[in-house]
Structure 1
């Protein structure tokens, strides 16, 4: 149930234009500190998971690996495996729902 609520919240954040999707854009959002939470698909490649985990820990941005790429893609309506949430309110609620 919490996972479904988190996916619904992701869709809402997408409609509110508070998400950044795609590896390059998410890396840039982490570097400029606009990303408040990074969601990496649990079935993404090991290299991708490590890259974003390392960047997240260096720039002190939380990284969550609890959703699959299919779940992330269906929530935002585009095929993606890496998403950055750029709103603190959405990020806080998503962390609460996914832990």
Structure 2
């Protein structure tokens, strides 16, 4: 899969009101159990990545490191975003499939689960 499929779907989910972005809102949606999937930019700080990796593991939410903060923000039509949560199960399922397929194709070179 091409990265633009993931970014296009993120834009669609955002326009549908099915995402929460920014560290505070992403954390809030994970803890409120409304997050179906979390994506953190590959260029986010090590502390941010660890925080969300651990939180998602605890709350059993799929976690991915994908794209840069700028790419994630651009896909959502906003400023740079280090993290975002997808709150719709349908969008999350499709994104999960795209991300898993891309992970197999790139074998974890650019990002990791």
Q: Flag whether TM exceeds 0.5 (same fold).
A: yes
Aligned to 1:37: 37
Aligned to 2:109: none
Q: For residue 38 of structure 1, give the secondary structure of its aligned residue in structure 2.
A: strand
Q: For residue 97 of structure 2, give the secondary structure of its aligned residue in structure 1.
A: helix
Query: Which whole-Å CA distance do the structure 2 matches of 1:33 and 1:2 have between them?
Result: 30
> Is 1:60 matched up with 2:60?
yes
Q: For residue 24 of structure 1, give the secondary structure of its aligned residue in structure 2.
A: helix
Q: For residue 52 of structure 1, give the secondary structure of its aligned residue in structure 2.
A: helix
- 1:2 Cα deviation from its structure 2 partner: 2.8
Query: Which whole-Å CA distance do the structure 1 matches of 2:82 and 2:24 have between them?
Result: 12
Q: For residue 3 of structure 2, give the secondary structure of its aligned residue in structure 1.
A: helix
Aligned to 2:111: none
1:55-94 map, 5 Å: 55-79=55-79, 80-94=81-95
Q: What is the TM-score with the length of structure 1 in the denominator?
A: 0.95
Aligned length: 99
- Greater gyration radius: 2
Runs of 4+ in structure 1 deviating by more than 4 angstroms, as ranges, are: none
Q: Any stretches of 5+ residues in structure 1 without a counterpart? A: none
Quote the RMSD (CA, aligned, Å).
0.9
